[in-house]
A and B are shown apart, each in its own frame.
Chain A
């Protein structure tokens, strides 16, 4: 009996919590419905004039049922304000409102029936951004969005063309309080101001340059804080930072054609990049006496018994350690995807490898590993990411990773990019 009562109390609490949550979500949206409801009411009133009408209401869109009473109330209030008297069904006029949608967002439609004449008015709504699902992992890995696609688009300075720019994000890095973002056709520096992200400087990479279908790039924040160097296929860029009075900072960006090797994260070594096939060739500069197989990602494990070792994710899928002049395969990497970053934490061995999963779904997860010997051991739960991981690199502080995520947008086939910071903390 006590058990039953406890279950009922629990169920009530859960139900209450769910109701509160739903109510909170619906309340969050109220602001979003205000304008379209007012706009639609105004358009209806323009057609009807001050008269009475019977209002019907239906929803064929993805708007949740919890939001419908709110929208109906807003519309009713706005119609009354506009001089339309709503009746319970004995009016000669009828207004049939349908909350519909297409790939670009909401379409709210009112069919206004006066006698045997029907007129149609519509308003459109931008599709609301999906709220990222709350991470539910126990601890260890934490994700924080640095900048979202919409903020990037808003911040990027339009080049005057009405052609849609590719907004794919190849790489990002934080330095001197700014965010450097490498796109397929430009590199830009953004400042986070009280008014939001603002583009401070940018350089075009050039449209005549050879491009790739799987474009990649790296940004290396210089350790002395003087700026950054960045590389994309066939081009190298540099950014110089100079503190300036009042405005915060001045950035100077230069790009030039280049086939120079790209810097390897956490190392002074550089690796040659095959721009035609989108991978590192395996040739390292300065040469350590042997070449690696072609690889996608690499990082330095600093605290190995025999000194630092280079960890590389080979093109053909294996993960190898270059240590002591030897190539050693790493076991336990079956679930590894193509992206990883080595970060330092105060936990365990002090160096964790944050690795993308091998899933091919719409979203992927990250997991931290340690490699004490030749086997990768998972040391964290998986952290679900809001989309597919497209790039990863250690942050300038060495303690976290900058992760580029491509999220499916609401439009069929569309994607949005987001720059996230993922940090490993002790459990």
Chain B
């Protein structure tokens, strides 16, 4: 009898605990699987979604755009920034259990930077990695936070060889599965696993989000307005990347006046308002106003008369323009071709694989809040010479003006990056470049 009463009491208590409405929890919860869908390849360089989950850099950018230690715990420069020494974080292991050594880090950096490196040499020195260069490298710590310098074990692109918060556990049926790394140096992530469904069309991603089949879906800039009208829950990085036209300074465009004429001929307003549905901000500056504070100094007005004047009656050979397969980029390219035709240029659109193009429509991601670092990053990504810079915004402004005066980069629009998330996703933050910090996400329990 007593035993029965005791059992009843226990069951009664349990039932009461279950029946009682729970208080809201404000602490992140561990467990569960985060489901993400992307339209591209998550390993794509440089910005593939899986890369930052599996690999770490020596440094990293916090969501506020400021630099943080990652695999390096400290760094210092000497000789007017010609030599940098980064001290490696002790006790970090690759996913296979082997220790992260300075030798392995150097091998990875040498493999990832074969051309247009910001340094001349990199070597291991006891527990440090030492970079040297004939040119001063004041922005090296910021540059090393870029996804192109993530540290992988071995010289190849072995996706199993990282130190990140997640490790690869499988790929099946178009879904890449990453498992939480319990011994991550930055702390075990909250979710147990992330499933990334790859090559999924954006429309299908949204349908899956609505049906509860995914937690995170892409929202391209041109679709942000539509997503807002559908009341999707959005995470948005307002000026994550700059869309720019990169011009060759050889062949048909060897004449700088012709390149300048192209800059004046493009109607940025039409691109921002029509193609990107007023989600982009037109600019003739590489760095957004929010990063530099001086973007308004670069005039973005179209001036067809000036374009004709600069062309000076020259009729260059037909030009080839390449753009990514993305629909918005294709539309932008077509719009640019129309604009240039009005200015007397004959332009043909080609696929992104064409290497001998005169013009390339491409985007450059903003890495962080440091304007000088972002400018160097864009210069390196575009293969242009990095202008010398001192401290302060005036110096960065002069460097940006110098970079643009080559007329080989024509900034067009600063674009946001956005993601739609399900109601069970908590604490999703975006980096400056709009990439989601999935290792900081936790999930609400199913109700």
Q: Identify the A interface with B (CB < 8 A).
A: 60, 98, 100-104, 106-107, 109, 111, 120-122, 124, 160-164, 166, 207-208, 210-215, 276-279, 296, 313, 315-320, 326-327, 329, 331, 333-339, 356, 358, 360, 364, 388-389, 409, 411-415
Report if B1 contacts A (CB, 8 A).
no
- Contacts A104-B369, A337-B26, A338-B27; A413 near B62 (Cβ below 8 A): yes
The 10 tightest CB contacts between A and B, nearest first, are: A358-B24, A317-B22, A107-B293, A414-B64, A161-B74, A413-B63, A102-B293, A208-B91, A213-B187, A336-B23
B297–A163 touching, CB < 8 Å: no
Distance in Å from the Cβ of B70 to the closest Cβ of chain A?
10
| C-alpha spacing A388/B28, complex, angstroms | 14
Chain A: CB-nearest residue to B292: A102
Inside 8 A of A208's CB, which chain B residues have their CB? 90-91
Contact partner of B64 (CB less than 8 A), chosen from A319, A334, A388, A415, is A415
Chain A residue at minimum C-beta to C-beta distance from B30: A277
Segment of B12-20, B39-47, B351-359 engaged in the interface with chain A: B12-20
Once A163-B74, A411-B64 are accepted as A-B contacts, the answer to whether A107 and B24 lie under 8 Å apart by CB is: no
Within 8 Å CB of A60, what residues of B?
296
Within the complex, the shortest CB–CB distance from B354 to chain A, in Å, comes to 37
Cross-chain contact A213 with B25 (CB below 8 angstroms): no
Pick from A122, A166, A329: contact of B394, CB under 8 Å: A122
* Of listed A101, A160, A213, residue having the most chain B CB within 10 A: A213
Q: Which residues of A contact B89 (CB under 8 A)?
A: 207
Known contacts A120-B397, A124-B393, A414-B64; decide if A214 and B27 are in contact (CB<8 Å): yes
A120-B297, A337-B26, A412-B290 known; A318+B90 contact, CB < 8 A: no
> What is the interface of chain B, defined by CB distance below 8 A to chain A?
13, 16-17, 20-30, 59, 62-69, 72-76, 89-91, 182-183, 185-190, 238, 289-294, 296-297, 369, 371, 392-394, 397, 426, 429-430, 432, 439-440, 445
* Contact A318 B23, beta carbon cutoff 8 Å: yes
User: Are A211 and B187 CB-contacts (below 8 A) given A120-B297, A163-B69, A276-B182?
Assistant: yes
Chain A hits for B183, CB < 8 A: 210
Provide the main secondary structure of the chain B interface. Answer: loop
Chain B residues with CB under 8 Å of A315's CB are: 25, 27, 29
Q: Does B27 lie within 8 Å of A278, measured CB to CB?
A: yes
Report how far A120 CA is from B90 CA in the complex, Å: 47
Give the Cβ gap from B173 to chain A, nearest Cβ, in Å: 30
Min Cβ gap A67→B in Å is: 18
A-B contacts, 19 of them at CB < 8 A, read A100-B296, A103-B65, A103-B369, A107-B292, A109-B293, A120-B294, A122-B294, A161-B74, A162-B75, A164-B66, A208-B90, A208-B91, A214-B28, A278-B27, A296-B27, A315-B27, A364-B26, A389-B26, A411-B64
Q: Are B294 and A212 within 8 A (Cβ)?
A: no
Interface of A is mostly: loop
Q: How far is the CB of B78 from chain A (nearest CB, A)?
A: 12
**Complex CA distance for A364 and B76, rounded to whole angstroms:** 39
Contact: B69 with A164, CB < 8 Å? Answer: yes
Q: By the criterion CB–CB under 8 Å, are A335 and B439 in contact?
A: no
User: Quick check: B24 and A337 within 8 Å, CB to CB?
Assistant: yes
- A66–B57 alpha-carbon span in the complex (Å): 46
A211 surroundings in chain B (CB, below 8 A): 185-187
Could you list 13 further interchain pairs (A-B, Cβ under 8 angstroms) beyond the known A121-B394, A124-B293, A334-B22? A107-B293, A122-B293, A160-B74, A163-B75, A211-B186, A278-B28, A315-B29, A317-B22, A319-B23, A335-B23, A413-B62, A413-B430, A414-B66
**Nearest residue in A to B370 (C-beta to C-beta)?**
A104
